Amino acid sequence: MRFSHSLYNITFTMNMKSILTLALISQSFIGWTQTKNFIDQPFVETAAQVDTLITPDRIYLNILILEKDTKGKISVEELESKMESALKNLGIDTKKNLTLNDVASNFKKYFLKSQDVLKSKSYTLMVADAKIAGSVIIELEVLEISNVLLDRTEYSEIEHLKLILKSMAIRKAKKQAEYMVAPLNQKAGVAIHISDHSDNSVGRALSGRVPGIQIRGYSSVKRKEFKPADIEFEKIKVESSVFVKFKLEE
């Protein structure tokens, strides 16, 4: 009985392996057949690219408050309070658009047996356009906060815009295909293959540092002598590319 039971297990295992092998072969054959059928179909292939320029609506400024800029006469906490008030006067929601990056203390003088420990704080401020960014810089400069950097620019609806451009690229590809086969008295039928070759690095580029405003030091000029220039930041280029195969029809 033990021998028969073992033989049954061996036979069952071999049968299962055979079934799995046949299943894999069958799937491979079906996949090969589908590929062959796809290749055997007469088709026209075309590539299309569309792009656009969009004005950024998220401007990120890095603001660094240093006690040493005022030679330690005004504390970081006081400068921080003045900055927040100035931003609110410009209509900026500081709770939503102003974030604290880090707090650092310069212990160099402490190690030199000095009683002074000069602190600093770093913030990121988001504004909607270049005009507001200019106003912020002017207000902060009056407060002797002049370490301001343009960190990056973004467009809030970038993903939706990419989808729109993809649709436009597909329509352009279809039109190109129709013009290509017209002299042959044929038509571009349904799409049998679509490949998206859009460069997704565009989104990553928008998140990096970009050239722009950089202000160092401060002056004693009064606020009323300045007004922000009516300018815009460099527009963001967004593009989409597709390759499409359309079935040829008589």
In tens, the pLDDT along 112-132 reads 444 555 577 889 999 998 889
Quick one: tokens of 206? 């928008």
Burial class of 154 by CB neighbour count within 10 A (0 to 12, 13 to 18, 19+): middle
Question: Would you give the distance in Å from CA 135 to the centre of its chain?
Answer: 26
Tell me the percentage of the chain whose pLDDT exceeds 70. 62
Chain position carrying tokens 């299309």: 48
Q: Are residues 167 and 128 part of one domain?
A: no
pLDDT of amino acid 20: 52
Query: pLDDT tens digits for 58-67?
Result: 999 999 887 7
Chain position carrying tokens 């507001």: 132
The pTM of the full predicted model, rounded to 2 decimals, is 0.66
Q: Are residues 229 and 126 part of one domain?
A: yes
Question: Would you give the distance in Å from CA 136 to the centre of its chain?
Answer: 25
Residue among 91, 94, 215 nearest 145 (CA): 215
pLDDT of amino acid 220: 43
Q: Are residues 96 and 136 part of one domain?
A: yes
Query: pLDDT tens digits for 204-245?
Result: 444 444 444 444 444 444 455 555 555 677 889 999 999 999
Q: Are residues 69 and 19 part of one domain?
A: no
Q: Are residues 219 and 106 part of one domain?
A: yes
Q: Are residues 163 and 134 part of one domain?
A: no
Domain that holds residue 176: 43-53+158-199+241-249
pLDDT of amino acid 113: 45
Sign of CA dihedral 97, 101, 102, 108: negative
Contact criterion met (CB below 8 Å) for 125 and 61: yes
Burial class of 83 by CB neighbour count within 10 A (0 to 12, 13 to 18, 19+): buried
pLDDT of amino acid 146: 78
Q: Are residues 131 and 90 part of one domain?
A: yes
CA distance 148 to 142: 13
CATH code: domain of residue 85: 3.30.70
Q: Are residues 49 and 35 part of one domain?
A: no
Look over the chain and give the mean of its residue pLDDT values, rounded to a whole number.
75
Sign of CA dihedral 138, 139, 143, 148: negative
CA distance 106 to 67: 10
CA distance 31 to 42: 19
The residue-averaged pLDDT of 176-190 equals 94
> Domains in the chain: how many in total?
3
Determine, yes or no, domain membership for 204: no
Q: Are residues 104 and 223 part of one domain?
A: yes
Quick one: tokens of 225? 């002598």
**Which carries the bigger pLDDT value, residue 79 or residue 220?**
79
Confidence of residue 92 (pLDDT cuts 50, 70, 90): very high
Determine, yes or no, domain membership for 214: yes
Determine, yes or no, domain membership for 13: yes
CA distance 97 to 95: 6
Q: Are residues 121 and 3 part of one domain?
A: no
Residue 43 pLDDT > 60: yes
Determine, yes or no, domain membership for 205: no
